[in-house]
């Protein structure tokens, strides 16, 4: 076994005191079947801001950071199943138990036993140096040509839009609007492209669109939708903001029989125009994170070069600065923290 220190630093979230750096967090001892990861990269998601500043509740008193990639450094000999020391792995954040009805049917993102026990959301996550993995089924090996920072971003910023795009059955005939081209959106575009969709992107920030244009100079990308764009233009709208304003825009521009997927958690409640939704038979599709099989598929798309997360890395100690930048819109793509 690789020797590990007894303590580490990490950022603990508490609903009363907020997010605080703790320089002497204990490193847990392993029980049979568990393993310890050295966290190599952890992505900063906008959901973290909703928790820190907007009252989104995801449990109390845990190390935040739910986009995690790391190296297996310690196992309880022969008990950790498929993993051995030195393996490069991505965490399946939704942390399914593996045994319940939902997990057995392949919907481990909806596992009721994992509710508020998700990595970095209710249970300890990646804003620390070492992470205890109680159930190694929730790890996926990272392909050799995908680096840790990319893998971390893929566990959510790619996985979440991938799941939503699959749920909405996006295909080459789909006229798709993606609202929000940040961490999730920049991956959503690449994923939708592999599904063959006709893509339009909307982001209020020109800098976000500059990145998008680098990904695909031909892409239709706007800070405001063109005035002459007809109502009911899109079969599917992926709302990666989830504010009342973007939801109303989605209601207006989705086709009759179309689908709105409000992935973004920008508003705690949304109101909709029932007559519009009912009379035009619009579907509202809830979509949460992604399944562990979706994560396997996303990492395979990354291995094939079809998903390349747009990101920059900074030291984990700079997390408070990165959070402020995210709050102020001074970032593009994903920020990934390196312990």
Residues near Zn ion (CB under 5 A): 45, 47, 96-97, 100, 103, 111, 113, 156
The residue among 25 and 236 lying less far from ligand NAD, judged by its C-beta, is: 236
Question: Does 266 help bind ligand NAD (rule: CB under 6 A)?
Answer: yes
Q: Which of 110, 147, 203, 297 contacts ligand NAD by CB under 6 A?
A: 203
Pair of tokens at residue 32: 């049979």
Give the bridge partners for 313, in sequence order: 336
**In angstroms, what is the minimal distance from the CB of 332 to ligand NAD?**
8
**In angstroms, what is the minimal distance from the CB of 14 to ligand NAD?**
20
Residue 99 DSSP one-character state: S
Question: Does 323 help bind ligand NAD (rule: CB under 6 A)?
Answer: no
Segment near ligand NAD (CB under 6 A); pick from 14-22, 28-36, 142-150, 262-270: 262-270
**In angstroms, what is the minimal distance from the CB of 109 to ligand NAD?**
8
The DSSP code sequence of 60-80 is SSEE---EEEEEEEEE-TT-S
Q: Which of 89, 170, 181, 197 contacts ligand NAD by CB under 6 A?
A: 181
Question: Does 184 help bind ligand NAD (rule: CB under 6 A)?
Answer: yes
What is the C-alpha separation between 244 and 167, in angstroms, rounded? 22
Question: Does 190 help bind ligand NAD (rule: CB under 6 A)?
Answer: no
Q: Which does 245 bind (CB under 5 to 8 A by kind): ligand NAD, Zn ion, none?
A: ligand NAD
**In angstroms, what is the minimal distance from the CB of 19 to Zn ion?**
15
Closest CA to 253 of 196, 317, 176: 176
CB-based burial of residue 97 (10 Å sphere; 0-12 exposed, 13-18 middle, 19+ buried)? middle
What is the C-alpha separation between 303 and 97, in angstroms, rounded? 27
| Chain contacts with ligand NAD (rule: CB under 6 A) | 45-47, 50, 156, 160, 179-185, 202-205, 208, 240-243, 245-246, 263-266, 287-289
């Amino acid at each position: 076994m690789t020797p590990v220190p007894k303590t580490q630093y990490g950022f603990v979230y508490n609903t009363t005191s907020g997010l605080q750096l703790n320089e002497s967090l204990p490193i847990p001892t392993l029980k049979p079947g568990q393993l310890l990861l050295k966290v190599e990269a952890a992505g900063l998601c906008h959901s973290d801001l909703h928790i820190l500043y907007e009252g989104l509740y995801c449990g109390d008193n845990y190390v935040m950071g739910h986009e995690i990639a790391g190296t297996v450094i310690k196992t309880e000999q022969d008990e950790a199943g498929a993993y051995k020391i030195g393996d490069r792995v991505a965490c399946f954040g939704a942390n399914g138990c593996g045994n319940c009805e939902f997990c057995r049917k392949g919907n481990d993102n909806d596992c009721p036993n994992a509710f508020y026990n998700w990595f970095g959301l209710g249970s300890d996550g990646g804003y620390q140096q070492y992470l205890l993995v109680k159930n190694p089924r929730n790890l996926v090996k990272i392909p050799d040509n995908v680096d840790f920072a990319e893998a971390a971003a893929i566990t959510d910023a790619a996985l979440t839009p991938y799941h939503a795009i699959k749920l909405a059955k996006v295909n080459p005939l789909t006229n798709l609007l993606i609202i929000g081209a940040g961490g999730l959106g920049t991956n959503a575009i690449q994923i939708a492209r592999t599904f063959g969709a006709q893509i339009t992107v909307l982001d209020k920030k020109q800098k976000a669109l500059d990145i998008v244009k680098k990904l695909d100079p031909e892409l239709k990308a706007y800070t405001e939708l063109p005035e002459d764009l007809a109502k009911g233009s899109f079969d599917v709208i992926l709302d990666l903001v989830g504010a009342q304003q973007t939801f109303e825009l989605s209601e207006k521009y989705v086709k009759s029989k179309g689908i709105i997927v409000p992935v973004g958690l920008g508003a705690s409640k949304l109101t909709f125009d029932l007559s519009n939704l009912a009379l035009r038979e619009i579907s509202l599709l809830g979509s949460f994170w992604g399944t562990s099989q979706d994560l396997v598929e996303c990492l395979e798309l990354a291995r094939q070069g079809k998903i390349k997360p747009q990101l920059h890395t900074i030291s984990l100690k700079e997390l408070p600065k990165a959070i402020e930048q995210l709050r102020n819109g001074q970032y593009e793509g994903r920020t990934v923290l390196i312990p």
